């Protein structure tokens, strides 16, 4: 009986451990909830989030919220899905705004309507706090599934010093594609065949590339996808063809834009180092540019060909499906607190995203901040022409079909028209199962 004593010891230890684990659940205490949060821009955000949650816990003794860092937007989706599958979903998640539709289709989201009704407000009143452009990504089939937390739009960044040097007036930034092309030509510097300074750089890596294509297509009068129904994208259309052809012309015809696919961080580094005179990038990069640019810079609306329009980006707060009622309630308290005007404004100033809550811009701190940093105003003003971010069934693969083709065009391997035809075909294939269940399911 060599092992019996050890076995007993082992059992005893296991028993104690199990008891210790079970104990807090039995005890009366604050409702413990987890908040999954991604850090899409830089490391400092994790500290800011810690500060925010600490403040919340101090003000709400009945709730103990824990902020769990979950990586990028994509990683956060993976981890949320994994925890839903394991039966232990977090109470709230800061989720990339264009993943909501896909999650709703997969039954992974809690409908927030009843929580709003329990507060004695109507959906219209609740949504009315936020900029109208943000509502498209938060409302699905007239039900609220997400609360906008931090958002962005694309902007045109201009190196003002280089513009002046080229005889251009940075206070009158280019407003149309024609003017932008002209600026880019004047700002490009060459030594023989070699370009030493690019006129403009537009990022194209998975995720960013689709967002920029949506931006260019919208300014060309088009739409990327069906805003009302997740089974359609409009890749093979004149407005997108015009957008991609112009982008491709900047690279191959005018030679004012670096060839190939360049990810966002490479574009911003290029701009900061003076190697690209203009760039199109998210408002989320504004703080980074402000802190790092050693030259005068200007931000402007994305120039138009047909109309001024931009997509939104950023993230919303969601409550995953399958959560216990008391935790759901606690999560709702946290969400309302985090999206209140004061906290929304604080987070905006810390990160560079704009605050989705309109009242945030009336708080004294924010008025003060905007007076000191007028460039932050441009993003907010552009919201008037902003529209939802593309979201379809299987958003990421559907987007990737377009991005792969756009990258081929930017590498000079395909013509825009054949690229878009191929992208449309591949996207339709991915969307097929969803259409079979919805638009093509006939009585």
Partner 1 sequence: MSLAEPAALPVTTSASPRLHILKRFTTGFKASLPAYLLLLPSLVFLALFTYGAMGRVFVDALYQRATPRAPVRFVGLDNIAAVLADSAFTGAVVNNLVYAVGTAVPSIALALLFALALSRTNAVTSALRAALFLPVLIPMVAASALFLFIFLPNVGLLDYYIGGLLPVLPNWLGDSDIALYAIMIITIWKNAGYYMLFFLAGLQAVPEDVMEAAHLDGAGPYQRLRHIILPELKPTFLFVTVIATLNAVTQVDHVFVMTKGGPSNATNLVLFYIYQQAVEHYDIGKASAATLLTLAALMSLTALSFRTMANREGGR
Interface residues with partner 1 (CB under 8 A) are 2-3, 74, 77-78, 81, 102, 105-107, 193-195, 198, 204-206, 258-263, 265-266, 269-270, 273, 275, 393-394, 396-397, 400, 403-405, 407-408, 410-411, 413, 430, 433-434, 436-437
If the CB atoms of residues 262 and 283 are measured against partner 1, the closer one turns out to be: 262
From CA 177, how far away is CA 159, in angstroms rounded? 18
Token readout for 240 is 């997108």
Report which DSSP code applies to 131. -
Token readout for 8 is 């007993």
Report which DSSP code applies to 355. P
From CA 421, how far away is CA 401, in angstroms rounded? 11
Q: Which residues does residue 150 pair with via DSSP β-bridges, in sequence order? A: 315
If the CB atoms of residues 329 and 394 are measured against partner 1, the closer one turns out to be: 394
Q: Least distance in Å: CB of 47 to partner 1?
A: 20
59 touches 90 (CB < 8 A): no
Token readout for 306 is 């047909």
From CA 330, how far away is CA 58, in angstroms rounded? 14
Token readout for 69 is 């860092």
If the CB atoms of residues 205 and 350 are measured against partner 1, the closer one turns out to be: 205
H or E element, residue 110: none
Phi, psi of 334 (to 5 degrees): -60, -45
Helix (H, G, I), strand (E, B) or coil at 277: coil
If the CB atoms of residues 187 and 261 are measured against partner 1, the closer one turns out to be: 261
Q: Least distance in Å: CB of 276 to partner 1?
A: 8
For the residues of 295-332, what is the DSSP string, one character each? S-EEEEPPPBSS---EE-EEEEEE-BSS--HHHHHHHH
Residue 440, CA distances (Å) to 101, 162, 228, 434, 436 in order: 19, 55, 16, 9, 5
Q: Least distance in Å: CB of 397 to partner 1?
A: 5
Report which DSSP code applies to 442. -
Alpha helices in 188-323 (DSSP H): 208-219, 238-252, 264-272, 286-292
Residue 137, CA distances (Å) to 146, 266, 406 in order: 8, 28, 25
From CA 270, how far away is CA 281, in angstroms rounded? 12
Phi, psi of 271 (to 5 degrees): -65, -45
351 touches 336 (CB < 8 A): no
Residue 312 neighbours by CB under 8 Å, 6+ apart: 97, 133, 134, 137, 151, 152, 153, 383, 386, 387, 388, 389
Question: 């054949």: which residue's tokens?
Answer: 418
391 touches 100 (CB < 8 A): yes
């Amino acid at each position: 009986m060599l092992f019996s004593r050890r076995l007993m010891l082992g059992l005893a230890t296991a028993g104690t451990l199990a008891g210790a684990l079970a104990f807090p659940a039995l005890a009366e205490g604050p409702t413990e909830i987890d908040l999954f949060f991604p850090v899409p821009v830089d490391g400092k955000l994790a500290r800011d989030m810690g500060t925010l949650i600490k403040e919340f816990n101090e003000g709400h003794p009945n709730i103990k919220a824990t902020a769990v860092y979950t990586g990028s937007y994509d990683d956060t989706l993976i981890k949320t899905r994994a925890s839903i599958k394991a039966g232990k979903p977090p109470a709230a998640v800061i989720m990339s705004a264009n993943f909501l539709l896909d999650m709703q289709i997969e039954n992974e989201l809690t409908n927030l309507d009843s929580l709003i009704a329990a507060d004695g407000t109507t959906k219209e009143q609740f949504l009315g706090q936020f900029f109208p452009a943000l509502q498209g990504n938060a409302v699905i089939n007239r039900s609220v599934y997400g609360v906008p937390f931090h958002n962005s739009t694309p902007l045109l960044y201009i190196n003002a010093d280089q513009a002046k040097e080229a005889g251009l007036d940075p206070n009158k930034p280019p407003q149309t594609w024609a003017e932008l092309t002209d600026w880019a030509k004047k700002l490009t510097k060459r030594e023989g065949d070699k370009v030493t300074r690019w006129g403009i750089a537009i990022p194209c890596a998975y995720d960013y590339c689709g967002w920029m294509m949506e931006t260019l297509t919208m300014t060309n009068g088009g739409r990327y996808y069906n805003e009302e129904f997740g089974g359609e994208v409009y890749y093979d259309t004149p407005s997108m063809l015009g957008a991609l052809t112009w982008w491709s012309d900047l690279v191959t015809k005018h030679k004012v834009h670096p060839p190939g696919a360049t990810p966002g961080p490479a574009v911003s580094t290029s701009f900061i180092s003076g190697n690209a005179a203009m760039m199109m990038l998210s408002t989320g990069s504004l703080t980074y540019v402000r802190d790092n640019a050693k030259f005068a810079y200007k931000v402007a609306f994305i120039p138009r060909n047909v109309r001024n329009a931009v997509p939104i980006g950023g993230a919303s707060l969601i409550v995953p499906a399958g959560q216990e009622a008391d935790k759901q309630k606690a999560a709702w308290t946290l969400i309302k607190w985090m999206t209140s005007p004061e906290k929304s404004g604080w987070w905006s100033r810390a990160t560079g995203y704009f605050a989705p809550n309109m009242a945030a811009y009336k708080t004294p701190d924010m008025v003060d901040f905007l007076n000191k940093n007028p460039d932050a105003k441009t993003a907010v003003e552009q919201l008037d022409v902003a529209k939802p971010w593309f979201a379809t069934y299987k958003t990421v693969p559907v987007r990737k079909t377009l991005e792969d083709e756009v990258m081929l065009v930017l590498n000079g391997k395909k013509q825009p028209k054949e690229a878009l035809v191929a992208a449309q075909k591949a996207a339709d294939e991915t969307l097929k199962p969803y259409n079979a269940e919805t638009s093509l399911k006939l009585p």
